[in-house]
Structures are given as C-alpha cells and as structure tokens.
Amino acid sequence: MSIIGSAACAGSSGSGASSPAATAAPAERKYLLERVDDAAVVQLYADGFAELPLKEKTLVWHLYQAALAGRDIFYDQRYAHGLEMRDVIEAIVRSKNAGIDPATYAEVLKYTKLFWINSGPFNNLTARKFVLTTTPEAFAAAAHAAEKAGARFPLKNGETLDQLLARLQPMFFDPNVDPMVTNKTPSAGQDILASSANNLYVGVTMKDLEGFKEAYPLNSRVVKDKGRIVEEVYRVGGRYDGEIRAIVQHLEAAIPYATEPMANALRALVKFYKTGETADREAYDIAWVQDKASPVDTINGFIEVYLDARGIKGGWEGLVFYVNREKTTEIQKLAQNAQWFEDHMPWDPKYRKQGVQGVTANAIDVVLETGDSGPVTPVGINLPNDQAIREHYGSKSVSLTNVNDAYDKSTLPEFRSEFSWTPEEAARATKWNALAGDLTTNMHEVIGHASGKVEERLKGNPQAAIKEQFSALEEARADLVALYFLPDPKLVEIGLIAKADQDEIVRAEYEAYTRNALVQLRRVRQGTQIEEDHMRNRQMIVRWLMANTKAIDVRSRDGKTFYVMTDPVAFREGVGKLLAEVQRIKAEGDYSAAKQLFETYGVHFDPKVRDEVVARVDRLHLPSYTGFVMPRLEAVREGGAPSGAIADVKISYPEDLSAQMLEFSAATRDLRQ
Ligand SMILES: [Zn+2]
C-alpha cells in the first residue's frame, strides 16, 4: 500500500527538519521546474547515489533498466488506446521545427506533458479524462507537418494518417467517451467495471464475474469473448510478453551484484514473471519481505490495486532505491516498538496481534519510479499487500525521503497562509509540517498498515469481503493510527520528538490534517464525488470528526471557508473511537458498514465549497498535484564499448520533463508487440 504524496497535505508530505550532512544540497538548485495546468513539475535528487560502491551502483543500473522496461505496461493497463495516443502526440512534440503553428504546438505540448505526468489521458487524482483543447483540424495539420518532416506515426496496416486521427479523435477530444478510468461509485444501476475505462477488463461486468473464479487474480486481464470469460495472464509468453522478457533479462543481469537475500528475492521474482502462478508470487513476496538489510532494493511488478474498481488487479510499477542510513535510524525506533503500539491500540483487544514481527522500516532515496509509482509518486510504501503473508511474515515499510524533501522544498508559502484561520496557525504549519508529516507518514506505514488482525473466517483476505471500499478503509486505518499516537508520551520516550515540542507538533499536524479536507477539494474540479482512495479516507476522517466531536469548527471570513481545528484533546478522542470502529469493520469484513461510512463522510461533497477553494488556489496559482522528473543514470563502460564491463555509473538531473519522457519512450519502443 502506498500513500500518495501531495504538497501541503498532512500525512503525506514534508521532510525532516535537517538534511544529513553527507547529502547536503547545493543551495540554489532547482526543485520546482514548471507548472502545467494545475500540476507542478519537480526535479527529484538522489544525492547519496554517487557515494555508493561500484557494485551497488551497478546493481541499481540493472534494476533501473528493469524498471524502465515495464513502463509501457502501465500505460496499456490504464487505457487500451494509451500507447497509440502517446505515439501520436510524441511524434508531434518531437517535430518542433517542422513548421507547426506555434499556438497549436504549445497546446499539444501542454496536453502531452499532462499525459506523461498521468500516464495517459486520465487525471491521477480525479480519475477523469482530460482532452486536447485544439480543434481536430489544427491537430491534424500539426500531425501532417510532423509527418512531412519525417515523424513516424503508429499506423495500422494500410491505414493513412487521417484515418488514424479519425479513429482516435473521440479519445483525444470527446470528454464523454470513456470519461473515467476507475469508477467505484457509478450512478444507480451502472456497473463499476463497465463504467471504468481502464484496460483490466474487456466487456466484463460484475455480474459476469459472479461464480467465476480467477486463477490469476492479481496479474491477468479478464476478457469476455463470445460469451466466455477468459483470463489473459501477464507473464512470459502471455500478455506483455515483450516487456516482461526484457524485465526478466535485466533482473537476471542484476542478480550477481545483489546480496544473497536480495538475489533470492530476484530469482523468485523472475520465476513469477515466467509462470505467473499465484504460488510463485507468494514465494516472491516472502523472499522479498525476508530481505531486511540489503542497502539497495527494488519493487517491480503488479502491486497496487487502486486502478481496479474491484480492487483485485495489480497496476504495474517499478521502483529502484537505496537506503538512507541516517533517516532510517529514526524509523527503526518505531519498528522496534511495534508490539508496544499494538498492545495500546484503542480497539477491541481480540483484534490485537501477538508477536508483531518483521516490520522492517527504512528511509530510502528513490533513483527511479515508473508505471503506477511515477511521475506521480507515493511518499510512503508498505508491502506486500497480501494480508496472509503480512500476518505470517511481516511486511516492509519505506519512507521516500528524497521525495518528501522535494515536496517540501517546492511548496509555496501561500499554500499554508491562505487556508489557515490565524497567522499563528500558518506559522505552526511552516515550522512543523515537514517534521510532523515525516513522522505521521512513518507511523502510517510502520505501525499503521502492519497492525491488527482479522477474524479467522476471512482467511487473511478482508479485501474479498470489503471489496471496492477496502483500499480507502485500510488507508483510513493507517492514518488514524498515526494521528492517534502522535500525542502519546511514548514518542518522547523513544526519542522521536522533544517533550517541549510535542503539544505544538500535535496541534500543527491536527490543524494541517483538518485543513487538507478542504484544500484537497481543489483536485476534484469536476463532479461532486471523490474517487481517489487516499483522498476519500482523509475526507471521511475529518467529516466524521466534524459530525461526532467538537474538535473542528467551520468558519467563514470575507466569503472564504475555513476548517479550524480547535480542540486537540477532543480530536484525539474522536480519532480513537473512529479507529476502533474502522478496525472492527476490517476484522469482521463488514462491507455495509464500510460503504455507509464512506458514502456518508468520504465520497460526496458540496460543489459550492469546491468552487470556492478552486477559485482561491487559482488566484494564487497553487498546484493540485506534482509530477517528478527522475534522476538519469548513465553507465560508463570499460574501453567505451557498449559490451564493456561497467566501470562507473554516473547520475545527473535532466531538469526537463519532456526530454526525460521522450528518452524513456524511445528506450522501450522495440519491446512492444
Ligand atoms: Zn497507506
């Protein structure tokens, strides 16, 4: 499970107050590179990479290639037309000097940047489609100019450029064709799969799946073909054969440079990619979770289930990272005390786990994120998602230190002042939100997701009972654990915060969490409901507290709405009550209670308030979400020959989204088909 990052968003952004000396950044380097509509584009830095020994750099190099090799899988999973559309707009963007009308070129470039940031034509947070704002005629003229200048388009056999453009016109221009990538709450009578435009199901409804048992739940596309339901398995020889073969080849090249526990995990992953069998995926999960000490690690596969309205199919992602030692010491204090926190959870003692084990917590610096994890990246990750493996073998948590740092460094100060009721509140946010955000992210991952147990009869699989409500419920549970323990003296005792600061840190975090329920509405510019699971969970918690405690006031001044946290004691008490109920719902698999909780507090909102928030952020030009430009690696070969042994791996920072995305797309072009 991952926490999606967002600037100035409690529980998901921020960094420690100090940077480790070894990774001190040049003062004047660029974080915020550009604004594209309501997205910010930010450069990610991985300062510790240059100091890694050559063996680890070489390992990272091969894993980086493996993460790139799968990038296009996620584009295709998100939308069946995604790669074709990307080929068309990239052909135009590459033809800057082809005599294309400058206004048209600028529009196509803007659309293409949004397309890259969101891995297709659907907004990452709202799940809604965005469209080209040129006319189809101007778009066609640009394409023809590009073709004349030598650009290649993805023409099917015998197809002309005009036929291609006509075929894709509804996808580029019509917001009502495939309007949402994932729709968990369609209007009455509509099916969650049929009304979701993603490519995880073809012609299949929930009704079709009644009584159908998937053999490959996580890693298959389900297709209805002449009335028959078929699973197309993601594996070597199956769907995405070309990409998966390349991933396997790079993983195999990485194995000689890995520690023994990591090599075991990589071998298990290769086996899973070859067979696609659930038993092999489980073996991989176990091997991965048992590798607790390797300095370099990767996540590569079909992992998170947010893209699927059913919450079953995994979106492909690739992450490569190394451990940030200094920051890791802090997190490990939480992990070492995991049993203490478990024993003090405010829920029914029968849902407390005994012998909490294997919570491995690392602060990491990311070198590359692709697919479901980049360019829009989480700030914290806890895996594996398989509940049975979590209960028997534990889980690994990582906090993405350099991502948090880049969020913090690129946040505009107006963000905090505009939505704070008093200057003191804004000052508290500036002073403490980075530290508090780091701490709550770590608690969310390390003692949140890893906690609690469910009733035996659910067989370690509460997802199956709680269905499309599960992800949001589980994110809420982890957030609530962090909010609940933040004021606890235990945090002072284990040295995570100073006693003198704790009250102010708690207040700053509760205020920020409360404000966020209002501020996050800026991301849902159309419609009146929230789709993204982390946003649902945060909305639900704050609105539940408003309805059931006296901790939060809704105030207004000069026609502006403010959510004001007034009573931290009442806030914490409410959090404890809600957490007990959320854990009960998960443990019992109480679907109807989960649905009612989110339908009442987490999904629907007042569009008038949203419009006001949007007007306020637009007036200040504040971004709604962030896409990251990743570090770039280059292998230096002995003798300069492509086949020579790797003598060094150089890291650099492109500071240019377009250059990086065009380079990535070119690198994997041959793997398709
Ligand atoms: Zn989470």
How many A from CA of 441 to the centre of ligand 1? 8
How many A from CA of 397 to the centre of ligand 1? 10
Q: Which runs of consecutive H residues, i.e. helices, occur in 120-160?
A: 136-148
How many A from CA of 445 to the centre of ligand 1? 6
**Gap between the Cα atoms of 493 and 541, Å rounded:** 28
pLDDT at res. 397: 85
Specify the 3-state DSSP secondary structure of 265: helix
**Gap between the Cα atoms of 484 and 566, Å rounded:** 17
**Gap between the Cα atoms of 341 and 413, Å rounded:** 35
How many A from CA of 450 to the centre of ligand 1? 10
**Gap between the Cα atoms of 195 and 633, Å rounded:** 40
How many A from CA of 479 to the centre of ligand 1? 7
Do 100 and 92 touch, CB atoms closer than 8 A? yes
- Give me 98's structure tokens: 């082809």
Do 257 and 62 touch, CB atoms closer than 8 A? yes
**Gap between the Cα atoms of 514 and 520, Å rounded:** 10
How many A from CA of 6 to the centre of ligand 1? 14
CA angle 391, 13, 31 (to 5 degrees): 130
pLDDT at res. 7: 34
Measuring CA to CA, how many Å separate 240 from each of 174, 224, 673? 29, 19, 8
**If we measure between CA atoms, which residue out of 1, 628, 76, 627 comes closest to residue 306?**
1
- 376 CB burial (10 A radius; 0-12, 13-18, 19+): buried
Do 380 and 441 touch, CB atoms closer than 8 A? yes
How many A from CA of 466 to the centre of ligand 1? 16
Report every protein residue that has its C-beta within 5 angstroms of ion ligand 1. Answer: 1, 3, 475, 478
**Gap between the Cα atoms of 458 and 553, Å rounded:** 39
pLDDT at res. 25: 53
Residues 6+ apart with CB under 8 A from 178: 79, 129, 171, 197
**Gap between the Cα atoms of 471 and 139, Å rounded:** 39
**If we measure between CA atoms, which residue out of 631, 633, 624 comes closest to residue 38?**
624
**Gap between the Cα atoms of 585 and 78, Å rounded:** 30
How many A from CA of 170 to the centre of ligand 1? 36
Do 319 and 328 touch, CB atoms closer than 8 A? no
Measuring CA to CA, how many Å separate 203 from each of 75, 167, 225, 263, 414? 19, 20, 8, 40, 47
pLDDT at res. 63: 98
How many A from CA of 444 to the centre of ligand 1? 6
How many A from CA of 534 to the centre of ligand 1? 8
**DSSP state, 603?**
S
Check whether the bond before 384 is cis (ω within 30° of 0): yes
How many A from CA of 635 to the centre of ligand 1? 35
How many A from CA of 34 to the centre of ligand 1? 28
**Gap between the Cα atoms of 182 and 184, Å rounded:** 6
Check whether the bond before 375 is cis (ω within 30° of 0): yes
- Give me 242's structure tokens: 């070309």
| H or E stretch covering 404 | helix 401-410
- Give me 382's structure tokens: 């806890």
Specify the 3-state DSSP secondary structure of 559: coil
pLDDT at res. 672: 84
pLDDT at res. 217: 96
**Gap between the Cα atoms of 455 and 470, Å rounded:** 16
pLDDT at res. 673: 65
Residue with tokens 């490519």: 199
**Gap between the Cα atoms of 324 and 46, Å rounded:** 10
How many A from CA of 133 to the centre of ligand 1? 36
pLDDT at res. 20: 34
How many A from CA of 63 to the centre of ligand 1? 24
Go through 382-411 and write b for each residue having 16 or more CB atoms within 10 A of its CB, e for each that does not: bbbbbbebbbebbbbbbbbbbbbbbbbbbb
Report residues of the chain scoring pLDDT below 70.
3-27, 357-359, 673
pLDDT at res. 4: 64
**Gap between the Cα atoms of 335 and 341, Å rounded:** 10
**If we measure between CA atoms, which residue out of 454, 125, 479 comes closest to residue 306?**
125
- Give me 248's structure tokens: 């396997």
Do 580 and 451 touch, CB atoms closer than 8 A? no
For residue 297, the number of C-alpha atoms closer than 13 Å in the C-beta half-sphere is 27
How many A from CA of 378 to the centre of ligand 1? 9
pTM value is 0.83
How many A from CA of 139 to the centre of ligand 1? 41
How many A from CA of 511 to the centre of ligand 1? 20
How many A from CA of 252 to the centre of ligand 1? 31
CA 394 from centre of chain: 22
pLDDT at res. 437: 86
Do 340 and 446 touch, CB atoms closer than 8 A? no
**DSSP state, 434?**
H
How many A from CA of 8 to the centre of ligand 1? 17
Residues 6+ apart with CB under 8 A from 107: 132, 133, 134, 138
**Gap between the Cα atoms of 130 and 121, Å rounded:** 6
Do 294 and 258 touch, CB atoms closer than 8 A? yes
How many A from CA of 446 to the centre of ligand 1? 10
pLDDT at res. 354: 87
